[in-house]
Amino acid sequence: GDPPDHPGGLLLLMNKPAGRVCSHDPAEGPSVYGLLPERWRRRNPPVTSVGRLDKDTSGLLLLTDLSPLVHRLTSPRHKVPKVYRALLDRELPPGADDLFSGGTYVMPGEEIPCAPALLKRIGALEVEITLTEGRYHQVKRMLGSQGCMVLELTRIRFGTLELGTLPPGRWIELPINGLVDL
């Protein structure tokens, strides 16, 4: 007797707290899905994250049950920008800005250059970095190659969507219409 729950699909913007994983495997630890209502955890197709954030990374995470949307937003072909704020253990050396934005930077252990990344210095120990791809631990590895350890990492923007003041562990529903220009 209940009306259908989001028959056209579900799209959520969550402020992922550090310490949660983007995995459905309980062996990996507490997951972001445990923060959702039980009825959404039982959806078919299942709710999944649009890309992943590491266990110790916090911030903007999109969750949906629409696999075409996941593909569109994560495909490198679409170049959807993602902005991360990082707190570093030491000041980033001069020249890192140009190195990352040039499109020729190759991370240690890889052969293919990273897509150009925009680096913005917020303070002596804080930077924002904008990526259009999502390689394994990319922000940490890029900054680490410059002698800096990332102490805290937060994604603050995904396309045109911003985290804003949403508290950690909370989420809001987003309309599915109009995401073409994300």
SS3 call for 96: helix
| pLDDT at res. 5 | 81
Residue 132 is predicted with a pLDDT of: 94
- Residue-wise pLDDT for 73-93, tens only, equals 888 888 999 999 999 999 999
Read off the pTM: 0.93
**56 given a catalytic annotation:** no
Residue in this structure with the two tokens 């995904």, named with its chain if needed: 158
Contacts of 66 (CB under 8 A, 6+ apart): 9, 10, 11, 176
Out of 54, 65, 97, 181, the active site residue is 54
Please write the tens of the pLDDT for every residue from 25-56: 999 999 999 999 999 998 999 999 999 999 99
